[in-house]
Amino acid sequence: MKKIILISLMSLMLSTNVSADTDGENSLSKKNSGDVKDCFEGVNRATFKFNQVLDNIIFEPVAKAYRVLPSPIRTGTGNALDNLSNLVTIPNNVLQGEFTKAGVNTGRFIVNTTVGVIGIFDVAKKIGFPEYEKEDYGQTLGVMGVGTGCYIVLPVLGPSTVRDTVGSFANLLGGDVWYNVTVANNTQHFSDFDYYASRLGSGIDFRAKNIDSFENLEKNSMDFYASVRSLYLQDRQQKIANSNAIIETQNDSDWEEIENQ
């Protein structure tokens, strides 16, 4: 259990969903990020700098090495990791009353896990299943009306809020479900290494897709910390509202487009 938590924390840090469309003026950093208060800004800024050091020393170099791999390998890896994350998304669909989406994502998971070889090939998309949308327990708490609480920057984990931090612990329990479904009950096809590698690989895959965009954001920001805070909070608000509009942010598919340009 301890190893599971450690690997999950590293993955969460790497896959922090912060995205941006920046300009030289960096007007976003000057905008109010809703009603969320930065109650611990001094501590948050110090933690933010600490996380930047870790990223520069460890995570970014690993992500750059990952980008050297052939595109089909990276695409297959990303597909498989997205498929496995259904084990967190599906219960959150149910908790949010989105039973149709829960059924669709269950169908996607079954098709891709079997015909798609553990999700390496997104067969479900090819046969007409709707695009996959991730859900997590932080989003579910938001849909249920739980307030965000103060903005927090967690060591290693990165940007969060009080509500999302609580949700992250539930996401870790979702990781235990993944472990029980695969490693514990189906050792013919999975091993402990597969589980741990998937958690870490998810973060590396996302970080590799966003290297250029993160660098551009930092370069064009008058206050990098404020930009990340604003964009993170906007992104979370969009996800909770299930909004398809892009409000000065971009989702994972947009990052793919940037990478392929």
Separate counts of helices (H) and strands (E) for the chain: 13, 2
- The radius of gyration of the chain's CA atoms, rounded to the nearest angstrom, is 18
Task: Compute the half-sphere exposure of residue 162: CA atoms within 13 Å on the CB side of its CA.
Answer: 10
Q: How many CB atoms lie within 10 A of CB 27?
A: 13
CA-CA distance, 224 to 55, in Å (whole number)?
A: 15
CA-CA distance, 109 to 93, in Å (whole number)?
A: 14
Question: Which residue is listed with tokens 């965009």?
Answer: 213
Cα distances from 146 to residues 16, 91, 152, 162, 163, in angstroms, run 21, 18, 16, 10, 7
Indicate the average pLDDT of the chain: 75
Instruction: List the one residue out of 64, 53, 43, 51 whose CA is nearest residue 16.
Output: 51
Yes or no: say if 86 and 128 are a contact pair by the CB < 8 Å rule.
no
Stronger pLDDT, 49 or 136, i.e. the higher one = 49
Question: What is residue 244's predicted lDDT score, i.e. its pLDDT?
Answer: 52
Question: What is residue 198's predicted lDDT score, i.e. its pLDDT?
Answer: 63
CA-CA distance, 220 to 210, in Å (whole number)?
A: 15
Yes or no: say if 140 and 96 are a contact pair by the CB < 8 Å rule.
yes
Tell me which DSSP letter residue 119 carries: T
Is it the case that residue 134 has pLDDT exceeding 90? Answer: no
Model confidence over 10-38: pLDDT tens digits? 444 444 444 334 343 333 333 444 578 99
Q: How many CB atoms lie within 10 A of CB 245?
A: 7
Following CA atoms 59, 200, 171, 52 in sequence, which dihedral angle do they give, to the nearest 10 degrees? -10
The residue-averaged pLDDT of 162-191 equals: 61
CA-CA distance, 230 to 241, in Å (whole number)?
A: 17
Is it the case that residue 250 has pLDDT exceeding 50? Answer: no
When divided into structural domains, the chain yields a total of: 1
The residue-averaged pLDDT of 146-159 equals: 89
pLDDT bracket for residue 58 (50, 70, 90): confident
List the domain range (segments joined by +) for residue 132.
2-260
pLDDT bracket for residue 225 (50, 70, 90): very high
Residues of the chain above pLDDT 70, percent: 68
